[in-house]
Structure 1
Amino acid sequence: MSPHDRDEDEIEASRAPLMDHLIELRSRLMICVAAFVVGFIGCFIVADPIYVFLVQPFAVAAQFREAAGPGGSVSPFDLILGTAGLVPVPQGDGQTVNLIFTAPL
Protein backbone atom coordinates (compact mmCIF):
# COMPACT_ATOMS: atom_id res chain seq x y z
CA MET A 1 0.00 0.00 0.00
CA SER A 2 1.50 3.30 -1.09
CA PRO A 3 1.43 6.47 1.02
CA HIS A 4 -0.95 7.99 -1.53
CA ASP A 5 -3.46 5.16 -1.02
CA ARG A 6 -3.23 5.53 2.78
CA ASP A 7 -3.89 9.28 2.52
CA GLU A 8 -6.93 8.66 0.33
CA ASP A 9 -8.22 6.03 2.77
CA GLU A 10 -7.86 8.46 5.69
CA ILE A 11 -9.69 11.20 3.77
CA GLU A 12 -12.46 8.77 2.78
CA ALA A 13 -12.82 7.59 6.41
CA SER A 14 -13.12 11.17 7.69
CA ARG A 15 -15.80 12.25 5.23
CA ALA A 16 -19.14 13.05 6.75
CA PRO A 17 -22.46 13.07 4.99
CA LEU A 18 -24.02 16.38 4.03
CA MET A 19 -26.45 16.32 6.94
CA ASP A 20 -23.59 16.11 9.46
CA HIS A 21 -21.98 19.16 7.90
CA LEU A 22 -25.25 21.10 8.01
CA ILE A 23 -25.80 20.20 11.66
CA GLU A 24 -22.29 21.38 12.52
CA LEU A 25 -22.81 24.60 10.54
CA ARG A 26 -26.07 25.26 12.37
CA SER A 27 -24.44 24.76 15.77
CA ARG A 28 -21.56 27.09 14.89
CA LEU A 29 -23.94 29.74 13.59
CA MET A 30 -25.97 29.54 16.79
CA ILE A 31 -22.78 30.04 18.82
CA CYS A 32 -21.84 33.07 16.66
CA VAL A 33 -25.29 34.63 17.04
CA ALA A 34 -25.24 34.05 20.80
CA ALA A 35 -21.76 35.63 21.08
CA PHE A 36 -22.92 38.62 19.02
CA VAL A 37 -25.99 39.13 21.23
CA VAL A 38 -23.93 38.85 24.43
CA GLY A 39 -21.36 41.32 23.04
CA PHE A 40 -24.08 43.74 21.97
CA ILE A 41 -25.74 43.65 25.39
CA GLY A 42 -22.36 44.05 27.11
CA CYS A 43 -21.48 47.09 25.00
CA PHE A 44 -24.94 48.56 25.54
CA ILE A 45 -24.51 48.28 29.31
CA VAL A 46 -21.15 50.09 29.25
CA ALA A 47 -22.04 52.56 26.48
CA ASP A 48 -21.25 55.65 28.56
CA PRO A 49 -17.63 54.67 29.38
CA ILE A 50 -17.11 53.70 25.73
CA TYR A 51 -18.45 57.11 24.64
CA VAL A 52 -16.17 58.92 27.11
CA PHE A 53 -13.20 56.90 25.83
CA LEU A 54 -14.02 57.89 22.24
CA VAL A 55 -14.58 61.59 23.04
CA GLN A 56 -11.46 62.08 25.18
CA PRO A 57 -9.02 62.69 22.25
CA PHE A 58 -11.45 65.19 20.73
CA ALA A 59 -11.81 67.01 24.06
CA VAL A 60 -8.03 67.20 24.47
CA ALA A 61 -7.67 68.55 20.92
CA ALA A 62 -10.37 71.17 21.60
CA GLN A 63 -8.57 72.34 24.75
CA PHE A 64 -5.23 72.59 22.95
CA ARG A 65 -6.86 74.45 20.04
CA GLU A 66 -8.54 76.89 22.43
CA ALA A 67 -5.24 77.53 24.21
CA ALA A 68 -3.46 78.15 20.88
CA GLY A 69 -5.98 80.81 19.95
CA PRO A 70 -7.29 81.72 16.51
CA GLY A 71 -4.81 80.93 13.77
CA GLY A 72 -2.56 79.07 16.20
CA SER A 73 -1.30 75.59 15.49
CA VAL A 74 -1.04 72.56 17.72
CA SER A 75 1.57 69.87 17.32
CA PRO A 76 0.23 66.37 16.67
CA PHE A 77 2.73 65.10 19.21
CA ASP A 78 1.21 67.36 21.86
CA LEU A 79 -2.21 65.93 21.03
CA ILE A 80 -0.98 62.35 21.32
CA LEU A 81 0.97 62.98 24.53
CA GLY A 82 -1.88 65.02 26.00
CA THR A 83 -4.37 62.24 25.31
CA ALA A 84 -1.99 59.75 26.93
CA GLY A 85 -1.63 62.03 29.96
CA LEU A 86 2.10 62.59 29.49
CA VAL A 87 1.77 66.33 28.76
CA PRO A 88 -0.40 68.66 30.82
CA VAL A 89 -3.55 69.64 28.97
CA PRO A 90 -4.46 73.35 29.09
CA GLN A 91 -7.64 74.11 30.96
CA GLY A 92 -10.55 75.16 28.77
CA ASP A 93 -13.66 77.13 29.52
CA GLY A 94 -15.44 73.99 30.68
CA GLN A 95 -17.67 73.51 27.66
CA THR A 96 -18.81 69.97 27.15
CA VAL A 97 -17.51 68.33 23.99
CA ASN A 98 -20.02 66.18 22.12
CA LEU A 99 -19.72 64.12 19.01
CA ILE A 100 -22.23 65.07 16.34
CA PHE A 101 -23.37 62.71 13.63
CA THR A 102 -25.96 63.27 10.95
CA ALA A 103 -26.49 59.73 9.70
CA PRO A 104 -24.94 56.31 10.10
CA LEU A 105 -22.44 55.39 7.45
Structure 2
Amino acid sequence: PFAAYFGALFKVFYPDLYQRYQKVFDAGNWIPHDPGPWLGRALVWKLPLDLHFDHGDIGPTLTIPLGFFHNGEMEFSALGALGRYRAGDIILGWDCKFAHKVRDWKIA
Protein backbone atom coordinates (compact mmCIF):
# COMPACT_ATOMS: atom_id res chain seq x y z
CA PRO A 1 0.00 0.00 0.00
CA PHE A 2 2.83 2.44 0.74
CA ALA A 3 4.48 2.02 -2.65
CA ALA A 4 1.16 2.50 -4.45
CA TYR A 5 0.36 5.64 -2.43
CA PHE A 6 3.80 7.20 -2.95
CA GLY A 7 3.72 6.28 -6.62
CA ALA A 8 0.38 8.10 -6.90
CA LEU A 9 1.92 11.21 -5.30
CA PHE A 10 4.75 11.11 -7.83
CA LYS A 11 2.22 10.76 -10.66
CA VAL A 12 0.26 13.81 -9.44
CA PHE A 13 3.26 16.11 -8.92
CA TYR A 14 5.38 14.97 -11.91
CA PRO A 15 3.02 13.33 -14.44
CA ASP A 16 5.39 13.40 -17.45
CA LEU A 17 8.37 12.21 -15.46
CA TYR A 18 6.23 9.53 -13.80
CA GLN A 19 5.50 7.93 -17.18
CA ARG A 20 9.25 7.65 -17.92
CA TYR A 21 10.00 6.24 -14.47
CA GLN A 22 7.17 3.73 -14.67
CA LYS A 23 8.51 2.40 -18.01
CA VAL A 24 11.96 1.90 -16.51
CA PHE A 25 10.44 0.35 -13.38
CA ASP A 26 8.35 -2.08 -15.45
CA ALA A 27 11.48 -3.16 -17.36
CA GLY A 28 13.63 -3.64 -14.26
CA ASN A 29 11.21 -4.74 -11.55
CA TRP A 30 11.85 -8.20 -10.08
CA ILE A 31 9.19 -8.19 -7.32
CA PRO A 32 5.79 -9.00 -8.91
CA HIS A 33 3.62 -7.31 -6.25
CA ASP A 34 5.56 -4.00 -6.23
CA PRO A 35 3.55 -1.27 -8.03
CA GLY A 36 6.54 1.08 -8.53
CA PRO A 37 7.74 3.50 -9.79
CA TRP A 38 11.08 3.35 -7.90
CA LEU A 39 13.52 0.48 -8.38
CA GLY A 40 15.69 1.42 -5.41
CA ARG A 41 14.91 2.12 -1.79
CA ALA A 42 17.20 2.96 1.09
CA LEU A 43 16.59 2.85 4.80
CA VAL A 44 18.62 5.30 6.85
CA TRP A 45 18.49 4.53 10.55
CA LYS A 46 19.86 6.89 13.21
CA LEU A 47 22.47 8.17 10.82
CA PRO A 48 23.47 11.81 11.26
CA LEU A 49 24.39 13.28 7.90
CA ASP A 50 26.13 16.49 6.98
CA LEU A 51 24.97 18.64 4.10
CA HIS A 52 25.09 16.39 1.01
CA PHE A 53 23.69 15.54 -2.42
CA ASP A 54 22.20 12.13 -3.25
CA HIS A 55 24.53 11.63 -6.22
CA GLY A 56 23.21 8.18 -7.12
CA ASP A 57 19.72 9.54 -7.73
CA ILE A 58 19.02 11.27 -11.04
CA GLY A 59 15.39 12.14 -10.46
CA PRO A 60 12.96 12.91 -7.67
CA THR A 61 13.51 11.40 -4.25
CA LEU A 62 10.79 10.52 -1.79
CA THR A 63 11.72 10.88 1.88
CA ILE A 64 9.45 9.56 4.63
CA PRO A 65 10.73 9.97 8.19
CA LEU A 66 9.46 7.26 10.53
CA GLY A 67 10.22 6.37 14.11
CA PHE A 68 10.26 7.85 17.55
CA PHE A 69 11.86 11.27 17.51
CA HIS A 70 10.78 14.86 17.78
CA ASN A 71 11.68 18.17 16.21
CA GLY A 72 13.64 17.79 12.99
CA GLU A 73 13.88 19.93 9.89
CA MET A 74 14.98 19.19 6.34
CA GLU A 75 17.36 21.95 5.30
CA PHE A 76 17.99 22.90 1.68
CA SER A 77 20.70 25.49 2.26
CA ALA A 78 21.08 26.78 -1.32
CA LEU A 79 17.37 27.54 -1.38
CA GLY A 80 17.38 29.03 2.11
CA ALA A 81 14.57 26.61 2.90
CA LEU A 82 13.64 24.57 5.95
CA GLY A 83 10.86 22.00 5.86
CA ARG A 84 9.19 20.09 8.63
CA TYR A 85 10.70 16.68 9.26
CA ARG A 86 8.36 14.78 11.53
CA ALA A 87 7.37 11.12 11.56
CA GLY A 88 4.83 10.63 8.79
CA ASP A 89 5.75 13.73 6.77
CA ILE A 90 6.41 13.23 3.07
CA ILE A 91 9.10 15.13 1.20
CA LEU A 92 9.17 14.73 -2.58
CA GLY A 93 12.19 16.58 -3.90
CA TRP A 94 15.29 16.60 -6.04
CA ASP A 95 17.94 15.49 -3.57
CA CYS A 96 20.45 14.94 -6.38
CA LYS A 97 20.29 18.60 -7.36
CA PHE A 98 19.94 20.35 -3.99
CA ALA A 99 22.27 19.84 -1.05
CA HIS A 100 20.27 18.91 2.03
CA LYS A 101 20.48 17.60 5.56
CA VAL A 102 18.20 16.75 8.45
CA ARG A 103 18.84 18.96 11.42
CA ASP A 104 17.77 19.42 15.04
CA TRP A 105 16.05 16.07 15.59
CA LYS A 106 16.08 14.40 19.00
CA ILE A 107 15.33 10.80 19.98
CA ALA A 108 12.02 10.65 21.82
TM-score (ref. length: structure 2): 0.23
Of Structure 1 and Structure 2, the greater strand share is in 2
Of Structure 1 and Structure 2, the greater helix share is in 1
Larger radius of gyration: 1
